[in-house]
């Protein structure tokens, strides 16, 4: 039997943080043996808000090096840059003409972003249709994303079902794969908010490219409570619970094991250990990252990935056109 297919993309908007690493990339690494996997850099999505042409391509390259350094295996994944595959935008147009303005204007992320800046482009509105194209082009079964992207994957399902009904079976219906609660990493300074690229205070965000001392300082400075026990209690002890979650994913220990290990320790001692395990793993990633960035590996991986992705997306595009009645 054919393997089920899985796909995700990240936007090349500066460096990524341990929330992205745990929520999206580590998930892909976990599933890469089981599924036929696709991972790409969503640079066409990045331009829905202004980007500096001078730095865009180096951000794309940096994200690709991070994928590989984090353990995304090029022999098990199709890795590519979205803008190098013209079929995504072509498919997107055909899908746009089968998507209602009302659906797009109701998307939570669109509402938030368009309220923040009234001078938004039409690309910000149609962004989820391009995301549907990324997924539907490859007959993807599962899409690992954070909770914020769930609505967009559901829209992709709606669009696919509508198209299949109207023109005949064309698309596989995808499902979002949302990481379990523990995999949502919160801000270190305000542990009731998720760790985010757009956080105002960068002290609450651990970036994969932060140096050792910066990581140590950020973790030692994390907001905690005055109760003094290391116990998981998300409601009353959000800061400690977040550090327990981080320690958990970096050590593969259970919450009970961690509570036992730090019984009687104070917060300083616990934070020091959390910093150690995070620094240990991130340092290894950074070493690989620097090697990869200075080699020709990225180009080799991309050449292989783009060929496969273009071929598959082209087939889907041609099928869509046939179903819709295009041709001579």
> What does the angle CA 158 – CA 163 – CA 164 come to, to the nearest 5 degrees?
100
Among 215, 219, 212, residue whose Cα is nearest residue 240: 219
Residue 134 contact, options ligand AMP, ligand TRP, none, Cβ 5-8 Å cut-off depending on partner type: ligand TRP
Residue 46 contact, options ligand TRP, ligand AMP, none, Cβ 5-8 Å cut-off depending on partner type: none
Number of C-beta neighbours around residue 309 at 10 A: 25
Query: How many angstroms separate the CA atoms of 84 and 93, rounded?
Result: 17
* 194 touching ligand AMP, by CB under 6 A: yes
Residue 29 contact, options ligand AMP, ligand TRP, none, Cβ 5-8 Å cut-off depending on partner type: none
Query: How many angstroms separate the CA atoms of 88 and 94, rounded?
Result: 10
Q: Is 314 a catalytic residue?
A: no
Q: 39 with 28: CB under 8 angstroms?
A: yes
Q: Is 111 a catalytic residue?
A: no
Q: Is 271 a catalytic residue?
A: no
Query: How many angstroms separate the CA atoms of 165 and 173, rounded?
Result: 12
The single residue of 4, 76, 113, 304 carrying the catalytic annotation is: 113
When binding is defined by CB under 6 A, the residue of 19, 176, 191, 204 that contacts ligand AMP is 19
CB of 34 to ligand TRP, least distance (A): 18
> What does the angle CA 307 – CA 88 – CA 146 come to, to the nearest 5 degrees?
105
Q: 185 with 27: CB under 8 angstroms?
A: no
Half-sphere exposure of 56 (CA within 13 A, CB side): 15
* 149 touching ligand TRP, by CB under 6 A: yes
What does the per-residue mask of binding to ligand TRP show for 27-46, with x meaning CB under 6 A? ---------------x--x-
Q: Which is nearer to ligand AMP, 11 or 141 (CB)?
A: 11
CB of 11 to ligand TRP, least distance (A): 5
In the numeric block, which tokens belong to residue 179?
């990481």
Task: Give Cβ neighbours of residue 192 (< 8 Å, ≥ 6 apart).
Answer: 186, 238
Among 162, 185, 140, residue whose Cα is nearest residue 39: 140
CB of 315 to ligand TRP, least distance (A): 19
* 197 touching ligand AMP, by CB under 6 A: yes
Residue 185 contact, options ligand TRP, ligand AMP, none, Cβ 5-8 Å cut-off depending on partner type: ligand AMP
When binding is defined by CB under 6 A, the residue of 82, 149, 207, 242 that contacts ligand AMP is 149
The residues in 24-53 that bind ligand AMP, with binding defined as CB under 6 A, are 24
Pure H helices in the chain: 18-20, 26-31, 43-46, 56-69, 87-96, 101-105, 108-116, 122-136, 150-167, 212-220, 238-251, 255-261, 267-293, 297-324
Q: What are phi and psi of 318, to 5 degrees?
A: -65, -40
The single residue of 76, 150, 184, 197 carrying the catalytic annotation is: 197
* 23 touching ligand AMP, by CB under 6 A: yes
Number of residues that bind ligand AMP (CB under 6 A): 18
**CA-to-CA separations, 173 to 96, 165, 323, in angstroms, rounded:** 17, 12, 17
* 11 touching ligand AMP, by CB under 6 A: yes
Among 121, 119, 118, residue whose Cα is nearest residue 44: 121
Residue 143 contact, options ligand TRP, ligand AMP, none, Cβ 5-8 Å cut-off depending on partner type: ligand TRP
Q: Which window, 61-69, 129-137, 211-219, 294-302, contacts ligand TRP (CB under 6 A)?
A: 129-137
42, containing H or E segment: none
* 126 touching ligand TRP, by CB under 6 A: no
* 62 touching ligand AMP, by CB under 6 A: no
Q: Which residues are tagged catalytic?
A: 113, 194, 197
List of residues contacting ligand TRP (CB under 6 A): 7-9, 11, 42, 45, 131, 134-135, 143, 145, 149
């Amino acid at each position: 039997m054919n393997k089920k297919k899985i796909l995700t993309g990240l936007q090349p908007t500066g460096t990524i943080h341990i929330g992205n690493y745990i929520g999206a990339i580590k998930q892909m690494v976990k599933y890469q043996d089981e599924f036929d996997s696709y991972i790409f850099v969503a640079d066409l999505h990045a331009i829905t808000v202004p980007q500096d042409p001078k730095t865009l391509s180096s951000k794309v390259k940096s994200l690709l090096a991070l994928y590989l350094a984090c353990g995304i295996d090029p022999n098990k994944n199709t890795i590519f840059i979205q803008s190098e595959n013209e079929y995504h935008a072509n498919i997107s147009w055909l899908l746009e003409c089968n998507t209602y303005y009302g659906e797009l204007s109701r998307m939570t992320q669109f509402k938030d972003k368009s309220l923040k800046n009234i001078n938004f482009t039409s690309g910000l509105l149609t962004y989820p249709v391009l995301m549907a194209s990324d997924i539907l082009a490859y007959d993807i079964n599962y899409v690992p994303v954070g909770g914020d992207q769930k609505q967009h994957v559901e829209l992709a399902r709606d669009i696919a079902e509508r198209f299949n009904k109207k023109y005949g079976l064309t698309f596989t219906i995808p499902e979002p794969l949302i990481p379990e609660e523990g995999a949502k990493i919160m801000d270190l300074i305000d542990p009731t908010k998720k760790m985010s690229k757009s956080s105002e205070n960068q002290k609450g965000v651990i970036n994969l490219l932060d140096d050792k001392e910066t990581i140590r300082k950020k973790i030692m400075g994390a907001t905690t409570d005055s109760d003094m026990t290391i116990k998981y209690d998300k409601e009353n002890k959000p800061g400690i619970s977040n550090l327990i979650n981080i320690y958990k994913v970096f050590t593969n220990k259970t919450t009970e094991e961690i509570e036992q290990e730090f019984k009687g320790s104070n917060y300083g001692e616990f934070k020091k250990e959390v910093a150690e395990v995070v620094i240990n793993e991130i340092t290894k990633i950074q070493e690989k990252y620097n090697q990869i960035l200075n080699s020709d590996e990225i180009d080799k991986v991309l050449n292989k990935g783009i060929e496969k992705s273009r071929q598959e997306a082209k087939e889907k595009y041609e099928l869509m056109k046939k179903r819709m009645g295009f041709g001579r």
